[in-house]
Chains A and B, each alone.
Chain A
């Protein structure tokens, strides 16, 4: 099915380890987003991209890096994981003209940093 695919779905990291979360969409969406969800705080934007080769900071960017080398992929990296980065991470994508079809979300990645 067309949509947004996130890998992996679950991961446990030790403090200081690094990892990359992959988001892939097959809808030819221009815009892509990474959010984190924490209890009582809703979803908060980490980074986003408005096109291939571009990225921008969101509300909570510290400790994360992103890259969008291909239009269909948006990678979220943690260089040195910290327990505060334990969260559920959601990727989303949309057309530049988002009113065409709103936003499509992935199913999430549950990350635990111990």
Chain B
């Protein structure tokens, strides 16, 4: 079955430091991949998506992600983290009929000032 794994449940970084959040997927065909962010008590906001083409995808808020087929990964990166980036981040892949989104379990990001 198709799945998404986010190995890190919690990550803490200092403000200004670089960030990488890991996402691995299991899917036979070319995946359609997303990263969402959720602030406490809020809904989901789309950061970026990958459908095809250039494997380095730029998103909002200075985030980027790189699709690596050989590693089945779609890691999210940001060169310099801001305190306002503290939130929960979800990776998701489109699976099967009905274009269903399958989500990872999320990574909680804490930013130390």
- Could you tell me which residues of chain A, from 64 to 88, have a CB within 8 Å of some CB in chain B? none
Quick check: B99 and A96 within 8 Å, CB to CB?
A: yes
- Answer whether residue A25 sits at the interface, using C-beta atoms and an 8 A cutoff: no
Quick check: A98 and B100 within 8 Å, CB to CB?
A: no
Complex: how many Å from CA A43 to CA B92? 9
Complex: how many Å from CA A105 to CA B44? 7
Supposing A43-B90, A48-B100, A96-B99 touch, asked if A102 and B106 sit within 8 A by C-beta, the answer is no
Quick check: A43 and B103 within 8 Å, CB to CB?
A: yes
- Answer whether residue A92 sits at the interface, using C-beta atoms and an 8 A cutoff: yes
Quick check: B103 and A44 within 8 Å, CB to CB?
A: yes
Q: Which residues of A contact B (CB under 8 A)?
A: 31, 33, 35, 40-45, 48, 50, 56, 58, 90, 92, 94, 96, 98-99, 102-103, 105-108
Top 5 A-B residue pairs of the complex, sorted by shortest distance between their CB atoms: A42-B103, A107-B43, A42-B105, A43-B103, A105-B44
